[in-house]
Amino acid sequence: MKPLDLSNNTKLDLSASIDPSLLKTRTMGKEELTYVSQNTVVDLLNKAFNYMWSFVIDDQWLEQGVPVVKKENPKYPFTEKNTDMSQVQVDAEGKRYVVLEQGPVAWTRGRLRVPFKDETTGEVVWIEKSACGAQAIIGNQAVQSTNAFKGSMSDCLKKCASLFGIALELYRDESEEEHFQMLRNEYYPDIWTEEVIAENQKDYDKLMTILESYDWTLDDISYYVSVATDNVYNSFMKMPTEYMERLIVAIQEDGE
């Protein structure tokens, strides 16, 4: 299959960073997870594809949970206050443990279908991505299963959307995100044309004087561009003019 020639605007829409005000957190065990709501993902899909997308549920099912073995920690031994002592067992080495039954999990398998326009041919091609989503059932199975399937459907939609790049940043670690932002900068158009330089000649000349004092070129200041733009850009040529003052300050402060 021949690759599509997608516009840079489409690539930027799909890879856009999530507004921090839309991020939510919840505690799971000892970890704090960051996520976005289904409504936010729907809004992002509507923006990227002008409401022209569809989500289809292919299957839903319940899967029984797998029991988990919890071994006794010598620092925090089993007591009547923290453990049902009637469930405590002893292994061949004389160490105590309990088997914790896990509730069932609701699963949804679905497909997200979106249109892409080939910039070379003008052809519109529909692309599908499929994924599975899950939601654990806590409490009465008969009562909670309906809500659990709604949760697994929401999880499935978000995972399908991430395969197109939407909110994918939530699945990356810090080093992966840094590398991705470098790739993403290639999609931005060059801002600093000869005309723009002429309009900002004073600030541009000031920057060039500073760079000459360090024997640097514009290609050597990617780090400072990232600092000045809060990691949105890492190329001076693609940096909007309003960040120029912050860029100069960042370089000067680091050299003091």
Structural domain boundaries enclosing 76: 68-100
123 lies in the same domain as 87: no
235 lies in the same domain as 115: no
Does the residue 183 lie in any domain? Answer: no
Does the residue 182 lie in any domain? Answer: no
Query: From CA 213, how far away is CA 175, in angstroms rounded?
Result: 31
Please tell me the pTM assigned to this model.
0.69
92 lies in the same domain as 110: no
- CATH code of 15's domain: 3.30.390.80
Does the residue 180 lie in any domain? Answer: no
Question: Residue 155: its pLDDT value, please?
Answer: 96
Does the residue 34 lie in any domain? Answer: yes
Query: From CA 42, how far away is CA 57, in angstroms rounded?
Result: 16
92 lies in the same domain as 117: no
Does the residue 185 lie in any domain? Answer: no
160 lies in the same domain as 226: no
Does the residue 149 lie in any domain? Answer: yes
92 lies in the same domain as 159: no
Question: Residue 160: its pLDDT value, please?
Answer: 97
121 lies in the same domain as 158: yes
pLDDT tens digits, one per residue of 122-138: 999 999 999 999 998 87
Question: Residue 144: its pLDDT value, please?
Answer: 63
159 lies in the same domain as 233: no
- Which parts of the chain have pLDDT scores under 70? 1, 29, 139-145, 255-256
27 lies in the same domain as 125: yes
55 lies in the same domain as 123: yes
Q: How many Cβ atoms are within 10 Å of 88's Cβ, its own excluded?
A: 13
138 lies in the same domain as 216: no
Number of folded domains that form the chain: 3
Last residue of a domain, one of 171, 200, 225: 171
117 lies in the same domain as 51: yes
Question: Residue 142: its pLDDT value, please?
Answer: 53
